[in-house]
Amino acid sequence: MTDHLLGRAALVFCVVLLLIAALWPGRASAHELSPAIAELSLAGNGEAKLRIDLNLEAMLAGIGPEHDDSASAPQAASYDALRALPPEELAARFKAFQNRGLHDLTLLADGAIVDLGPPSAGIPQTGDTGIARVSTLRWSFVLPADTGRITWRFPQQVGASVLRATREGAEQPFFAGFVAAGDTVTVPLDADVPNTSQGTPFMTYVKIGFDHILPKGLDHVLFVIGLFLLNTHLRPLLIQITMFTLAHTITLALGMTGVVSLPAHIVEPLIALSIAYVAIENIFTQKLHRWRTVIVFVFGLLHGLGFASVFRDYAATGGEFVKSLIGFNIGVELGQLTVIALCYLAVGFWFGDKPWYRRAVVIPASLAIALISSYWVLDRVGLLA
């Protein structure tokens, strides 16, 4: 009777896992909402240009920062309709919207509002409506003479933004920072004023890292669950997590500094393949072998490149870079430890030492993870398109 109940519980567990995978608003979602990228270019004569790359459809549909994915918003149908519009029609919708929709967009020069005027909108062709379209808004204006500080604020209802400020002729921005929805950031332009004192709060980067695992990183969550399932004892589990953490920290740093770079169409299928491998190994292996630690380290290198591709839009520059990198990595680790804690409380504490744990929990759960990740491999290499 007990085995029968446990079998049913394991089946329910796997079904729930599959449903979560199908419905979870993950990072690979076609309609995931990313922060707007604002690039401010400054010339020596006071002339300035502002460019914002953003999801115009999400803004017009009224999908606010409380949604990470357009599919989870009540306005999803409106978003999809806007996404199907050709550039001319979407531009006309934006023109009617901009006076009320962008009234909170603020650029201050030494505390005084800068009159940006109406923007020009560059909108790509409709293309594949399953992929979020990135449009570009542009402004040209003149800053007051001897401006010492600029302050940036993006409309709160639109969401977060990343501000990058570059001087004319320079290849790299002298400031880059993440600005949460409704927040402002002040950037000193005087050479004698250090930029490091004006950056994004450290905990903002921690939150970004945590959010990348929970709720956005289902692929990384399933990988951690796969590590947990084979052996629930604390010491070997911590060794695996430590090696995984060390590895992805290395490639995250190398990826962010440009030392190592691999395109997403290579990294993403390999990440999915790493999840499938761990799950399949769980099915055919009954004990934790030493080589698994090495394999986990190698897979951690891949996951670090995946983290870098996401964090590149959020990262700061200069003295802020190290702070943003450390904060993001701490957030990722907190997310992973949360996943392990939840798994331990759900099954490890109660059933980890039971003789039927492998049959009733490890094998069915690993099979579910293997099926999900195998589907991702095929999807990410384009075989299911």
Q: Could you read off the pLDDT of 327-378 as tens digits, one per residue?
A: 888 998 899 999 998 988 888 888 888 888 888 889 999 999 999 999 999 9
- Please tell me which of 195-199, 290-294, 305-309, 328-332 the model is most confident about, judged by mean pLDDT: 328-332
Answer yes or no: do 226 and 299 share one domain.
Answer: yes
Q: What is the pLDDT of residue 352?
A: 80
Confirm whether 44 is domain-assigned.
yes
**Residue 87 belongs to what domain range?**
36-183
Confirm whether 267 is domain-assigned.
yes
Percent residues over pLDDT 70 in the chain: 86
Answer yes or no: do 151 and 211 share one domain.
Answer: no
Number of domains in the chain: 2
Confirm whether 340 is domain-assigned.
yes
Confirm whether 217 is domain-assigned.
yes
Please say if the pLDDT value at position 201 is more than 70: yes
Which residues, 6 or more positions from 214, have their beta carbon under 8 angstroms from its beta carbon? 221, 335, 338, 339
Confirm whether 193 is domain-assigned.
no
Higher pLDDT, 222 or 103: 222
Q: What is the pLDDT of residue 56?
A: 92
Answer yes or no: do 169 and 304 share one domain.
Answer: no
Answer yes or no: do 142 and 286 share one domain.
Answer: no
Please say if the pLDDT value at position 197 is more than 70: no
Answer yes or no: do 53 and 97 share one domain.
Answer: yes
Q: What is the pLDDT of residue 127?
A: 85
Please say if the pLDDT value at position 70 is more than 80: no
Q: What is the pLDDT of residue 225?
A: 92
Radius of gyration of the chain, Cα coordinates, nearest whole angstrom:
23
Which residues, 6 or more positions from 201, have their beta carbon under 8 angstroms from its beta carbon? none
pLDDT per residue as tens digits for the range 22-37: 445 444 344 567 788 9
Distance CA 271, CA 221 (A): 12
Answer yes or no: do 210 and 345 share one domain.
Answer: yes
Confirm whether 160 is domain-assigned.
yes
pLDDT per residue as tens digits for the range 223-263: 999 999 988 787 888 888 888 989 998 998 898 888 888 88
Answer yes or no: do 233 and 343 share one domain.
Answer: yes
Please say if the pLDDT value at position 130 is more than 70: yes
Confirm whether 107 is domain-assigned.
yes
Decide: pTM greater than 0.75. no
Q: What is the pLDDT of residue 81?
A: 94
Confirm whether 198 is domain-assigned.
no
